[in-house]
Amino acid sequence: MTKNELIQAIADDSGKSKSDVATVLASLGRAVGGALQHGGELTMPGIGKLSTTKRPARTARNPSTGATIDVPAKTVVKFKVTKDLADAVA
């Protein structure tokens, strides 16, 4: 599903205009980013939970050349789907 298809589906379901739905989705993106940026987590009822975790620095290997590469530590976003959604998809 593309962004436009998502906006259209939500607009059809809620009776709101597509521009209102697009504004809400943009706001949701900023809110999620702000919450995760400060190390928090965000639960979206019926969908799942977003959280952050720190990935430590490591040494990897380039599969083409065999050369070793130093991969720096970084913070990544994790997503855990709710059981209800997982069961609905399965």
Ramachandran angles phi, psi of 59, nearest 5°: -110, 125
Question: Are the CB atoms for 73 and 83 separated by under 8 Å?
Answer: no
pTM listed for this prediction: 0.71
Q: CATH fold of 44-90, please?
A: HU Protein; Chain A (4.10.520)
Which helix (H) or strand (E) is 54 found in, with range? Answer: strand 48-55
Distance (Å, rounded) from C-alpha 21 to C-alpha 2?
14
- Tell me the pLDDT tens digit for each residue of 30-88: 999 998 988 788 999 999 999 999 999 999 999 999 999 999 999 999 999 999 999 99
Domain boundaries, the chain: 1-38, 44-90
